[in-house]
Amino acid sequence: MYMPCPPPPRIVSTRGRRRQVDTATHFCPNPDCAYRGWVGWGNLRANGHPSGGPWRQLLCIACRGYFLETLGTLFHGKHASVDLIVHVIACLAEGLGIRGTARVFEVDPNTVLQWLVEAAEQLRAFSQHFLHGIRVRQVQLDELFALLSAVKAGEVSEAEAIERLERMSQWVWVAMDPESKLLLAIDLGHRTLAMAQHLVHSVAQVLAPDCAPLFLTDGFREYMTALLTHYGHWVQPPRQQAQGPIPRPRWLPLPQLLYAQVVKTVRRRHLVRVRHCVVFGTLEAVNAVLAPLGYQINTAFIERLNLTIRQHVAAVGRRVSTLCKGEEGLRQQLALYQTYHNFCLPHASLRQPLPQLLPTNGSGSAKQWRPCTPAMAAGLTDRVWSLREVLLYRVPPWPQPVGV
Ligand SMILES: [Zn+2]
């Protein structure tokens, strides 16, 4: 990420009255402006709604440049109503397919697809902006079988369709912190070493550089190589004898690397037993990480996640996929799901008790819990984001200084 020289001095408003319009989440986009990309630096003024449109225009007082508050988001330059776009994306995030969503809102399926593509691009940047330097105690890696369909109903025979489906069968690769439920990485691909490498690489990218969590996977053997690649180092073995050649250095796992495989025994479609086979590290060390969470909880949630992804990502859940989408469409739905899950969906197991009961409107019982999303549990944000807020968030071009 390119970060320019130190930011220019902040501009403090000299007028006594507090500014009514909050520009604190915006930044100047002008590449020639010294204030470009710095969020909440005091250089922006709200300038009303040009030609009565829904969006405010912002003025950068440093470069005298004007831009709309939607610049760089999905809404920029769209004639469709904000509500419509937000609802369409929400429907996709909740797992209705592209065709279904198009029917509900009476929009052309290609328009829905176009919005999905743009939203996914924006949400990837959003994720990248928030997910970095994360500290977790464990990471669970899993692959979930996905069936892709590039086949439009009726265009090919059923047999042919099934045959194509088989060939396109892919896996959804997921990396999650079981404590915060944060989805660290999600991807799509075949069940290969290259994909395992890619997933572990994505995880390593979002974790703090010195964070070496306990990794848990299923029995897929390529994970071992992938983890060793990313969490290994050269070790020079000591000489056995005073003379003779120096032994060759060896690539070994970092001493702090913990990796266990979760071996599940399933009988009549019921999970009867879960065992951990320690691959790197010691059983004691692995148990020390797992003990506070409990084995059963641990495996229950990954099964639960598989179910949730099936429900929320239309193409994974059903054989009948929609419209052209092969791989790209599904990848975009997964990008949408990752952010929706992390930032917008409060997780029942994460809710926190309120210090005191809050009365609710009407006759309902008092509110006792504060909803909590995975991103909140992981300390990345302090509130539940609405999908509208996420979609309206202008992702700054570089990480912003914290607490200044
Ligand atoms: Zn400017």
By the CB criterion, residues less than 5 angstroms from ion ligand 1 are 28, 30, 33, 35, 60, 62-63, 65
Query: Ligand 1 center to residue 159 CA distance, Å?
Result: 59
Per-residue confidence (pLDDT) for residue 363, from 0 to 100: 66
Strand segments, DSSP code E, in 72-169 are: 138-146
How far, in Å, CA of 374 to CA of 180, rounded? 5
**Which tens digits make up the pLDDT trace of 29-40?**
999 999 999 988
Query: Ligand 1 center to residue 7 CA distance, Å?
Result: 12
Query: Ligand 1 center to residue 389 CA distance, Å?
Result: 24
pTM above 0.85, yes or no: no
Per-residue confidence (pLDDT) for residue 380, from 0 to 100: 92
Query: Ligand 1 center to residue 27 CA distance, Å?
Result: 8
**Which tens digits make up the pLDDT trace of 331-353?**
888 899 999 999 999 987 777 77
How far, in Å, CA of 130 to CA of 149, rounded? 32
Q: Which range in 145-149, 169-173, 368-372 is most confidently predicted, on average pLDDT?
A: 368-372
| DSSP, res 54 | S
Number of H helices, E strands in the chain: 12, 13
Query: Ligand 1 center to residue 43 CA distance, Å?
Result: 7
How far, in Å, CA of 101 to CA of 259, rounded? 42
Query: Ligand 1 center to residue 9 CA distance, Å?
Result: 13
Check pLDDT > 50 for residue 152.
Answer: no
Per-residue confidence (pLDDT) for residue 16, from 0 to 100: 55
Query: Ligand 1 center to residue 6 CA distance, Å?
Result: 15
**Where would I find the H helices in 248-377?**
283-290, 295-312, 314-317, 327-339, 374-377
